[in-house]
Amino acid sequence: MHDERRRIEERVARLHNQRIKPAIYAATVPLAVEAWQAPGEPVPFDEAAAAPYEPFAMNTPWGPPWGTTWFRMSGQVPAEWAGKRVETVIDLGFVGDWPGNQAEALVHLVDGTPLKAVNPLNQYVPIANPAAGGEEIHYLVEAASNPDILANDFVGPTPLGDVRTAGDKPLYTFKRADLAVLDENVWHLDLDTEVLYELMLELGEHDPRRHEIMHALDRAMDLLDLDDISGSAADVRAALAPVLSKPAHASAHTVSGVGHAHIDSAWLWPIRETKRKTSRTFSNVTSLADEYEEFVFACSQAQQYEWVRDNYPQVWARIQESVKKGQWAPVGGMWVEADGNLPGGEAVARQFIHGKRFFIEHFGIETKGVWLPDSFGYNAAYPQLAKLAGNEWFLTQKISWNQTNKFPHHTFWWEGIDGTRIFTHFPPVDTYNARFSGEEMSRAVRNYQEKGGATRSLAPFGWGDGGGGPTREVMERARRLKDLEGSAKVEVEHPDAFFAKAREEYPDAPVWFGELYLELHRATYTSQARTKQGNRRSEHKLREAELWATTAALHAPGYSYPYERLDRLWKTVLLHQFHDILPGSSIAWVHREAEAEYARVAQELEEMTAEAVAALGGGGARIFNTSPYDRAEVVRTAEGAPAYVEVPASGSAPVGAAGPAQPVTVDGRVLDNGLVRVEVAEDGTLSSVRDLRADREVLADKGNLLRLHTDLPNYWDAWDIDKHYKNRYTDLLDTESVTVVEADPLIAAIRVERAFGKGSRITQTITVRAGSPRIDIETDIDWHEAEKILKAGFPVDIRAPHSSAEIQFGHVQRPTHTNTSWEAARFEVSGHRWVHIGEPGYGVAVINDSTYGHDVSRTVREDGGTTTTVRLSLVRAPRVPDPGADQGRHRFTYSLLPGASIGDAVAEGYALNLPLRVADAAGAPVPVVSVDGEGVTVEAVKLADDESGDVVVRLYESRGGRATGTLRTGFPLAGAQVTDLLERPLAQADTDGNGGVTVELRPFQILTLRLERAATGR
């Protein structure tokens, strides 16, 4: 037989695209359209309904950036369309096929009932099937003219990312608003042809099935009457039926399709637009569920459900009904799909607590799995936190974006730092926006790493990022691929069903230990530094407010614990931990609003803490310590004078403790407190840091060396830092001044001022305090660079085979060598409050109060010694998607801690991030709880969420070893239980018979205790 593949393939492609697709709508009549441009921000439906409308013609430009235009549409179904399937078709002037980053609209009936959204791949609104003829159509359509932020493909910055800079030039040209007859035979022929054609192209050229499909398509096209596509469509479909009905091979891979619509809670649009996106997508999803009884849609992010509940009650009611029918699956159990690296441990716990409770309360459903397809890496505490929240499985997708190494598993057990394992799946289709194309199905099978051990994978299908969700065309593809020779089989089902089957067939799946590090998007540890600082400060202020509110509730008559306020503020912080807000990868508008929200949260939490402390009564200045560790340090009083204080963990003490025996001395540019001696060079770097206790020099070269690197990644500006950034840099060694600015026996400081680059300035105050080896570097930057990153380096005379970085409820160790491509790919990593390097007998920590990104490297010197260098990433200057990212003022502190153990790093990390509070108080309330036992660290103290008055304490082992201790309470204890994260009992806690709770922890174990208070007669 002659090889006619090219002729047939080109023939089918042309007929499909140029003749069949255009004939899907058999007849159309235009609707009458009027328009009203809403001023400013979106308005409620009732206001839009009462607005004055003006006639609007097709092919008219409309929609300024971020504007809202309401269209009033009306028409009548022609009588001759009786018995046909009639729809409204609306094209707002869509560009491309991505629903989420351009014009979108929600269609309402005139009584305000939301019907369905329209977007590039979902332009129809059903009217009748079959139509009676004569039906009148009246709509109000809320159209959002959101700009296409990435239209220039990252070539350069755009002003469109903020309503303040976007201008008012119309972005779109309205193309179509018609009543139309859907020719179902032609529509199904389009899908039949497309599915077979795509499958054919993926089969091997020697595969008989490929040739069978090819010749069947060729013969079928012979039956297509080019002058009567509609009339011949049924005959063409009948000719294709035999090849569409051949069943899949018995050993064919099974793809569990789960409807999905990833909606970023903010990204290339502000939060206010996401609220509308949820209504559009969820309207479409519930409408699709009415058409396809087998449809199952998985949806995470309790925050988005709450937005719909509060703003679109009719859509909310439809969601509740779909949940009851089993077609809507709440998943994930988190408040939002948070970033996987940056939120603190307690914040991740609260993501689960608030998310799971929402689904239990509103749907009676406890979600079983963690659904995080798009976060930029996943911390190694997740398995334990997920299990403690009652989850059984974990799903991610983003690891498919790895720049260097292909992740070796798709179904595996993920083991966290404490040893907890959770069953995990990473879909081989390599997308969370699947549409069941031939290429996707082939890729899923080809890519699947578990061949021979397992036979199934999951595919989230539906348009996402900006929403959109599944379409009826995707559902039709799933039906055709349910059992089709040459293809994987598609089974649409609940993700819980997939995970149950996958675990049953593959119980001995391989194990991956530690973090799931994404070899891409490493700059998200640094971009938008003020957003990150706002998060860090909020997390610690929430801890402080809860501790002292609990103290006041126990000791101050008449004080009421602020349950509602804390709940509301936690949810605000959790929302902003979304994986495109906290990482710094959103448009300017998002980060501008985030910074304002963090300021508001900080102010309210300050007020709450002050109220709680004031409730304890006035009587003189006292120092309050929110840290879980005892503190002995220098603090500034309300008058600004330094004072040395000793304060118990989670307790308070009066000002006036005797100072340490050795004061701080200043000799030129040398600061000495008897523990460390710090020499500041003329160029402002640290020329020497000598640990006087160990009698050794800490530094191997200039310390606190500020290095300005060129930073232009290959593609994702705000997201990525590529390895070549290291090759071009300038060391900031020119100074304007190096000045002693404080020389008190308790505290001494040297200030270094520099100007550099394009008008940037940096002022650093290097401070040494009596009684502490910690060297603080308070930093004030006025930043005006572009496409640069600023790092601060500490080259330490230590041979460290690995570094340790704090993560949620523990720390991870990472090699400092680059033996393999896996280690080399970790050239930029994340950590929380500290990074530690050490050799047997000696260690050094670098502490911070708001940075996350860092790198650790080592070199061998000519003298044979090893230099291990820790460099903090301080600030960046990407230009896409926010051209003004990080510009302006930044204030933060980082510290060098010589002679530090891991335990010292943990304690000082808390100390730097939880400054001592000076307040007027009458007495010394007993700390709510106190704990003995090295490594047992209290992370949270609060009252139980059920308002029972029980005290909830969350603690963990922080050093990486086994720990035992006793927890004692500052109130009469009636009983103690071990609970899950949702404060539900798991077991009775062990007590020592003297009112204490015995604590035994494995390395990095998290333990939540619920403490019942005994009646006191109050």
Between vectors from CA 678 to CA 674 and to CA 679, what angle results, nearest 5°?
Answer: 135
Among the listed residues 513, 496, 255, the one whose alpha carbon sits nearest the alpha carbon of residue 381: 513
Question: What is the phi-psi region of residue 655: left when phi exceeds 0, alpha when psi lies from -120 to 50, beta otherwise?
Answer: beta
CB 426 within 8 Å of CB 397: yes
Cβ burial of 707 (10 Å; 0-12, 13-18, 19+) is middle
The CA–CA distances, whole Å, from 275 to 303, 306, 310, 719, 810 equal 10, 10, 10, 24, 36
Between vectors from CA 762 to CA 757 and to CA 767, what angle results, nearest 5°?
Answer: 150
The CA–CA distances, whole Å, from 299 to 90, 195, 662 equal 27, 27, 61
Please identify which residue in the block is written with the tokens 């190694």.
380
Tell me the C-alpha distance between 500 and 18, whole Å: 45
Tell me the C-alpha distance between 686 and 693, whole Å: 19
Q: How many CA atoms, within 13 angstroms, populate the side-chain half-sphere of residue 945? A: 14
Cβ burial of 293 (10 Å; 0-12, 13-18, 19+) is exposed
Tell me the C-alpha distance between 536 and 554, whole Å: 28
Q: What residues does 731 pair with on adjacent strands?
A: 707
Between vectors from CA 948 to CA 943 and to CA 949, what angle results, nearest 5°?
Answer: 45
Question: What is the phi-psi region of residue 947: left when phi exceeds 0, alpha when psi lies from -120 to 50, beta otherwise?
Answer: left
CB 931 within 8 Å of CB 999: yes
Cβ burial of 377 (10 Å; 0-12, 13-18, 19+) is buried
| 917-920 β-sheet, strand order | 652-654, 621-624, 917-920
CB 100 within 8 Å of CB 468: yes
Three-state secondary structure of 109-139: ECCCCEEEEEECCECEEEEECCCCCCCEEEE
Tell me the C-alpha distance between 1001 and 384, whole Å: 13
What burial letters (b/e) apply to 931-941, b meaning 16+ CB within 10 Å?
bebebbbbbbb
Tell me the C-alpha distance between 587 and 842, whole Å: 45
3-class secondary structure, 342 = coil
Three-state secondary structure of 735-753: CCEEEEEEECCCEEEEEEE
CB 959 within 8 Å of CB 906: yes
Q: What residues does 737 pair with on adjacent strands?
A: 753
Tell me the C-alpha distance between 474 and 565, whole Å: 44
List residues with catalytic annotation: 374
